[in-house]
Amino acid sequence: MSIRDVLLPLVGESSRTTMLAIEKCVALARGLDVHVTALAIEAEDTTPPDVADVLGATEIVQTAPTARALLAAFGAAAVKLSLRSEQRLERVRQASVIDVIVMQARLNDMSIALVKSADSFSEKLVERLLLETGRPVLMCPQDIADTLETSFNRVAIAWDCSAPAGRAIGDSLPLLKRASRVRILTATDKASGTQLASGAALERYLAEHDVTAVFETTEVSGSSIGEVLGEFVEDKTIDLLVMGGFSRSRFSEHVWGGVTCTVINQPPCWVMLSH
pLDDT digit string, tens, across residues 163-179: 999 999 999 999 999 99
What is the domain count for the chain?
A: 2
- Pick the last residue of a domain from 117, 142, 167: 142
What CA–CA distance (Å, rounded) separates 267 from 216? 21
Show the domain range for 262: 154-274
CATH number at residue 256: 3.40.50.620
Handedness of CA 267, 77, 130, 272 (dihedral sign): negative
Question: pLDDT tens, 78-131?
Answer: 999 999 999 999 999 989 999 999 999 999 999 999 999 999 999 999 999 999
What CA–CA distance (Å, rounded) separates 195 from 200? 9
Same domain (yes/no): 13, 126: yes
Residue 53 lies in a domain: yes
CB burial class (10 A; 0-12, 13-18, 19+) of residue 141?
buried
Q: CB of 31 within 8 A of CB of 98?
A: no
The pLDDT value recorded for residue 40 is 97
Residue 50 has pLDDT above 60, yes or no: no
Residue 21 has pLDDT above 70, yes or no: yes
- Pick the last residue of a domain from 102, 122, 142: 142
What CA–CA distance (Å, rounded) separates 187 from 160? 8
Residue 147 lies in a domain: no
Residue 9 lies in a domain: yes
Same domain (yes/no): 159, 58: no
Same domain (yes/no): 103, 202: no
Q: CB of 217 within 8 A of CB of 186?
A: yes
Same domain (yes/no): 33, 80: yes
- Pick the last residue of a domain from 89, 122, 142: 142
Tell me the CB-side half-sphere exposure of residue 118, using CA atoms within 13 A.
Answer: 0
Residue 114 lies in a domain: yes
Position 250 confidence tier, pLDDT thresholds 50, 70, 90: low
Angle at the Cα of 233 from the Cα atoms of 3 and 30, rounded to 5 degrees: 30
* 8-state DSSP, 190: S
- Residue 202 is which amino acid? L
CB burial class (10 A; 0-12, 13-18, 19+) of residue 188?
middle
37 contact partners, CB below 8 Å, separation of at least 6: 5, 6, 7, 8, 85, 86, 87, 88, 104, 108
241 contact partners, CB below 8 Å, separation of at least 6: 155, 156, 157, 158, 229, 233, 263, 267, 268, 269, 270, 271, 272
- Confidence (pTM): 0.92
Same domain (yes/no): 46, 123: yes
Same domain (yes/no): 17, 82: yes
Average pLDDT over residues 127-150: 97
